[in-house]
Amino acid sequence: MGITKKINFESIFLFLFLILFPFGQIIRLSFNFAGYNIPLQPIDIVVGLATVYSVIFQKHKTKALAYIGYFLVVAIFSYILNIFTFKLQSLYGLFYLIRTAGYAIFLNYVWNFVKKKPQNKELLYKSLLSISIVSAIFGWIQFYYFPDIKPFIVYGWDMHLFRLVGAFLDSTYLSIVLVLGLLISIGLFINSKQKKYLLLAFFLLISIAFTYSRAGYFALLAGAGAWALTEKRLRKIVLSIMVFLTIVIAIPTINNHSNEFFRTFSITRRIDNYETTLAIYSHSPVFGVGYNNMCAAYQKYVGFQDFASHACSGSDSSLLFILATTGIVGLFVFLQNTFNLFKLFIRKRNNQVVIASTVALFVHSLFSNSLFFPWVMGYMAILLATNIKE
């Protein structure tokens, strides 16, 4: 029997994704296309292979894919509509469009894996918790050995000092990965009553605090609040929130303005980013400037911005990003179908984890483009797939 016959293609790409996930940006790849430096993550390659396999060989399709598909249709239309406006520069955005579509189909790939054996759901829950834990451990290793990542500014990364950024080199994105893991650990504890999950939850709680990411803090509070409403455990949730706020207040800031809770410079910068995104949106309000032509639009309407910059292709708000790239039509379709998808989980019991995680991510995405961060898209694709029956 050849080695190709021994490989289980129904799951291999999923577990390759989980293995690569915690390494984040430290194994980042890129290639040159038409004069542009296109970033390519190893997890993108794995998801791409899973997508091809799912399209060709998996006959069963989840209904959730249709909800995501409606938005992708608008995104594709907005992109085609703007090809003549941005010409060759639009090729840069094409890769982002392909990647987003790939992660949508990756959900279907994972759903087929869960559909085969119901016990795969718990396996994936534990796997997601594991990659959140490993991501936190990498963060503490970085915090100890490389507390100052200012040298990475020359590569387009933000300045972070004495904060957990981990392999993602960004405390904001690390924070949402840890928040999602924390919510899963709580769910596993409630179902199993095993105290090890409480210990892991506490470890993740401390790790979230040391990211000093207010977006992560708000996401955690929102996720906990959603859990309180669905699970009717208001007293315990309030107590947990009070403990977390006490930790946040108590952790040292080392007289460093980058990790002070009431720092204002990042708020000012974020407001400027919102204004810039809205300025780009104003040039094409109905269908947007095309998904994802943010860099090209910035060059044309605002001023020079290096295509290699990590701030070039997104916005500090996922909803504003959708508004700018797909217009008011795209935002409406996205919100409507997100709500329809969310209703699938609200109607069913024992879906508190996915409900709380979705709310947490939505709040987090108001302060960063986390909805379209590859690791978050893959993480949520797995989480959603484990909770969809049809």
Contact 22, 131 (CB under 8 A): yes
Instruction: Give dist(CA 357, CA 382) in Å, integer.
Output: 12
Q: Which helix (H) or strand (E) holds 31?
A: strand 29-33
Torsion-angle region of 160 (φ positive above 0: left; ψ -120 to 50: alpha; else: beta): beta
Backbone angles phi, psi at 349, to 5 degrees: -80, 160
Asked if omega into 8 is within 30° of 0 (cis), the reply is no
Q: Which helix (H) or strand (E) holds 293?
A: none
Instruction: Give dist(CA 251, CA 210) in Å, integer.
Output: 8
Q: Which pLDDT belongs to residue 149?
A: 73
From 14, 82, 4, 99, select the one nearest 48 (Cα to Cα). Answer: 99
DSSP per residue over 50-102, as a string? HHHHHHHH-----THHHHHHHHHHHHHHHHHHTHHHHGGGHHHHHHHHHHHHH
Instruction: Give dist(CA 227, CA 356) in Å, integer.
Output: 5
Instruction: Give dist(CA 79, CA 61) in Å, integer.
Output: 26
Which tokens in the block code for residue 112? 């087929």
Bridge partners, residue 29, by sequence: 40
Q: Indicate the SS3 state at residue 229.
A: helix
From 296, 388, 314, 377, select the one nearest 87 (Cα to Cα). Answer: 296
Q: Which pLDDT belongs to residue 295?
A: 85
Q: Is the pTM of this model over 0.85?
A: yes
CA triple 97-99-100, angle to 5 deg: 65
Q: Which pLDDT belongs to residue 163?
A: 87
Q: Which pLDDT belongs to residue 1?
A: 39
Q: Which pLDDT belongs to residue 139?
A: 95
pLDDT of the chain, 390 residues: tens digit per residue: 344 444 688 899 999 999 999 999 888 777 676 566 677 889 999 999 999 999 999 988 988 898 999 999 999 999 999 998 988 888 888 888 999 999 999 999 999 999 888 788 889 999 999 999 999 999 999 999 888 776 566 555 566 667 899 999 899 999 999 999 999 999 999 888 899 999 999 999 999 999 989 999 999 999 988 887 777 666 666 677 777 777 776 776 655 555 666 566 677 888 888 999 999 999 999 999 999 888 888 888 887 666 555 566 678 899 999 999 999 999 999 999 998 888 777 656 668 899 999 999 999 999 999 999 999 999 999 999 998 877
From 279, 304, 280, 282, select the one nearest 292 (Cα to Cα). Answer: 280
